[in-house]
């Protein structure tokens, strides 16, 4: 039986790259999506191909071009002739304080974090049903209560959480749909000052950042089962959400 195939969006860097490496180690074939990070995507694919030739395909796409996502889904299935799972990892994240939010920011943040996962999942439903596959959405612990100065982002991640639970109900029993809600895993690319970092760490019962490996291991757990687990969002945050979410 040929190895299963997983499409990972935003796979070239950071958490997406770690998920890719972990799943590839476990024998999965991968369709790695990227937008602007072509150099990183090609380097990642080349490294994985060294250990198992013919196991990785690359697809470039701006996910905010929502009218092109049906074609992206077709291309993804065509890479290996099947698709067993979709991991909606790609995300756009930057501050947009209230009073400065523009329509363009809202459209970009909502498209990448909510609309694209919806439309890509929808386009892949026939294939995933046929394979009895699964969908994993990368949500955010701040999707429930919001993150200061990130209102459109928080709203979009809240919508993604709703999508996760609603899709699980609609697609059962053939397709399982679950989510991972990371807390502080990697410091954001827009730099936090030392006081902000100290405040975040003080709010985490585990007293430290998580690791992209934690996310990758959780994704692997959700892919492999248990087969009765669907409609759930795992908060991978060192216990932070159980203590409340102070401002970052």
Domain count, the chain: 1
**C-alpha–C-alpha distance, residues 245 and 232, integer Å:** 20
Residue given tokens 């026939």 in the structure block: 126
pLDDT of residue 244: 59
Reading the block at residue 12, the tokens are: 């070239």
| Rg over CA atoms, the chain | 17
**DSSP conformational letter for 186:** S
Give residue 208's pLDDT. 86
pLDDT digits (tens, 9 = 90+) for 190-228: 667 788 788 888 888 887 888 999 999 999 999 998 999
- Residue 8 has phi, psi (to 5 degrees) of -120, 120
Highest mean predicted confidence (pLDDT) among 146-150, 191-195, 226-230, 242-246: 226-230
The pTM (predicted TM-score) of the whole model is: 0.93
| Rounded mean pLDDT, 94-114 | 96
For the chain, percent of residues with pLDDT exceeding 90: 80
Going from the C-alpha of 169 to that of each of 29, 229, 246, the distances in angstroms are 27, 12, 32
d(CA 133, CA 89): 17
Asked if 200 and 184 count as a contact pair (C-beta separation under 8 A), the reply is yes
Is residue 208, in this structure, part of any structural domain at all? yes
Instruction: Give me the sign of the Cα torsion angle 51, 54, 55, 61.
Output: positive
Tell me whether residue 228 is one of the annotated catalytic residues: no
pLDDT of residue 245: 52
Q: What's the CATH code of the domain at 37? A: 3.40.50.720
18 within 8 A of 51, measured Cβ to Cβ: no
In a domain, 57, yes or no: yes
Query: Looking at residues 17-33, what average pLDDT do you find?
Result: 98
Among residues 28, 34, 94, 153, which one is catalytic? 153
Q: Is the peptide bond before 226 cis (omega within 30 degrees of 0)?
A: yes
- The residue with greater pLDDT, 87 or 206, is 87
156 is a domain residue: yes
**pLDDT higher than threshold 80 for residue 189:** no
Using left for φ > 0, alpha for ψ between -120 and 50, and beta otherwise, residue 143 falls in alpha
- Distance separating alpha carbons of residues 108 and 70, to the nearest angstrom: 19
Provide the strand spans (E) within 81-189: 85-88, 134-138, 176-182
Percent of the chain with pLDDT over 70: 96
Task: Report the pLDDT value the prediction gives residue 1, as an integer from 0 to 100.
Answer: 84
Do the Cβ atoms of 206 and 239 come closer than 8 Å? yes
H helix count then E strand count, the chain: 8, 7
pLDDT > 80? residue 112: yes
* pLDDT tens-digit readout, 150-186: 999 999 999 999 999 999 999 999 999 999 999 888 7
Looking at the domain assignment, is residue 32 inside a domain?
Answer: yes
Residue 248 lies in a domain: no
133 part of a folded domain: yes
> Range of 12's domain?
5-243
Q: Would you say 19 and 89 are in contact if contact means Cβ atoms under 8 Å apart?
A: yes
Q: Which residue has the higher pLDDT, 183 or 29?
A: 29
Nearest to 91 by CA among 6, 182, 23: 182
**pLDDT score of 108:** 96
- What does the angle CA 31 – CA 35 – CA 38 come to, to the nearest 5 degrees? 80
pLDDT at 126 > cutoff 80? yes
- 160 in Cβ contact with 213 (< 8 Å): no
């Amino acid at each position: 039986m040929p190895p299963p195939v997983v499409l990972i969006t935003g796979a070239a860097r950071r958490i997406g790259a770690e998920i890719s490496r972990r799943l590839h180690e476990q024998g999965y074939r991968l369709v790695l999506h990227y937008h602007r990070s072509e150099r990183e995507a090609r380097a990642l694919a080349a490294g994985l191909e060294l250990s198992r030739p013919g196991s990785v395909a690359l697809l470039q796409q701006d996910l905010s071009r929502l009218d092109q996502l049906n074609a992206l889904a077709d291309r993804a299935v065509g890479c290996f002739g099947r698709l067993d799972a979709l991991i909606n990892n790609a995300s756009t994240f930057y501050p947009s304080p209230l009073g400065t939010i523009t329509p363009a920011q809202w459209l970009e943040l909502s498209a990448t974090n909510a609309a694209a996962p919806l439309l890509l999942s929808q386009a892949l439903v026939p294939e995933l049903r046929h394979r009895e596959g699964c969908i994993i959405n990368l949500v955010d612990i701040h999707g429930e209560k919001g993150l200061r100065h990130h209102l459109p982002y928080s709203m979009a991640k809240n919508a993604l959480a709703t999508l996760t639970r609603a899709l699980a109900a609609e697609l059962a029993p053939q397709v399982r749909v679950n989510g991972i809600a990371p807390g502080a895993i990697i410091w954001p690319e827009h730099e936090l000052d030392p006081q902000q970092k100290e405040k975040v760490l003080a709010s985490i019962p585990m007293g430290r950042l998580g690791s992209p490996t934690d996310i990758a291991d959780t994704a692997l757990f959700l892919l492999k089962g248990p087969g009765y687990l669907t409609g759930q969002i795992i908060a991978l945050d060192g216990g932070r959400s159980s203590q409340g979410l102070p401002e970052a």
